[in-house]
């Protein structure tokens, strides 16, 4: 145990995230890029849901959603969020916090066009988070879009977009035997990062 007592080193947290995600893609049975995304209202009421990370790099972490959904409304009102990746197979998790900004229309168009046609139909037909009288209503809307766009080239709805979280805090957690876990918190400091270990 002495040899790896500091297995989460100080350094570049974005490079460390890349390495951990790459390992998770080999060991997790489904969706290593799945993350819990927490938002809140201007009044401080929290909400949480699972989404898929669709891009990341030095400029931040990107996900896509319907901006007219509950989460979209919360983001518009209070553009900050927290992300949580939990890779049970590796006994690891990463928490990321920071402000959100909408991606460009060109970027949203490109990602929407890359999706499977059925996913595009499903997104375009959905009034996400709003009341639905019957599932058949939604499926009928999907079918109507299929008829209108038999080639699958349904245009991106203007309210379907992406958001990029610029990380200000990134915390890495590693599970240890007997719950002697390891945690390291990185905090953005100018153009770099400071870090410190935390008690588990």
Question: What domain count does the chain have?
Answer: 1
DSSP-derived 3-state class of residue 122:
helix
Structure confidence at residue 6 (pLDDT): 57
Task: Determine contact, residues 37/71, Cβ cutoff 8 Å.
Answer: yes
Q: Over the stretch 24-65, which tens digit does the pLDDT of each residue have?
A: 999 998 899 999 999 999 899 999 999 999 999 999 999 999
* Position 125 in a domain: no
Q: Look at the block and give the residue holding tokens 């819990």.
A: 36
Tell me, yes or no, whether 112 lies in a domain.
no
* Catalytically active residues, by annotation: 179
Per-residue model confidence as pLDDT tens digits over 86-131: 999 999 999 999 999 999 999 999 999 999 999 999 898 888 888 9
Q: What is the domain-level CATH number for residue 70?
A: 2.30.110.10
* Residue with tokens 């996900």, as numbered in its chain: 63
Q: What are 126-150's pLDDT values in tens digits? A: 888 889 999 999 999 999 989 999 9
Going by their DSSP bridges, the two strands 80-87 and 34-40 should be labelled as: antiparallel
Q: Is residue 53 part of a domain?
A: yes
pLDDT per residue as tens digits for the range 154-188: 999 999 999 999 999 999 999 999 999 999 999 99
List the domain range (segments joined by +) for residue 54. Answer: 2-107+161-198
Q: Is residue 184 part of a domain?
A: yes
Q: Does 2 have pLDDT greater than 90?
A: no
3-state secondary structure of 39: strand
């Amino acid at each position: 145990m002495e040899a790896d007592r500091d297995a989460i080193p100080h350094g570049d947290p974005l490079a460390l995230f890349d390495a951990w995600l790459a390992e998770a893609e080999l060991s997790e049975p489904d969706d290593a890029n799945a993350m819990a995304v927490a938002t809140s209202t201007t009044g401080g009421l929290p909400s949480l849901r699972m989404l898929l990370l669709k891009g990341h790099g030095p400029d931040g972490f990107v996900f896509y959603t319907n901006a007219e959904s509950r989460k979209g409304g919360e983001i518009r009102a209070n553009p900050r969020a927290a992300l949580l990746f939990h890779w049970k197979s590796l006994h690891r998790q990463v928490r990321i916090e920071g402000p959100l900004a909408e991606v460009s229309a060109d970027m949203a168009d490109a990602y929407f066009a890359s999706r499977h046609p059925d996913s595009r139909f499903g997104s375009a037909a959905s009034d996400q988070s709003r009341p639905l009288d019957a599932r058949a209503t939604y499926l009928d809307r999907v079918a109507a879009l299929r008829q209108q766009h038999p080639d699958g080239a349904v245009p991106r709805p203007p309210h379907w977009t992406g958001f990029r979280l610029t990380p200000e805090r990134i915390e890495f957690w590693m599970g240890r035997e007997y719950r002697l876990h390891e945690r390291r918190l990185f905090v953005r400091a100018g153009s770099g990062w400071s870090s410190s270990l935390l008690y588990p």
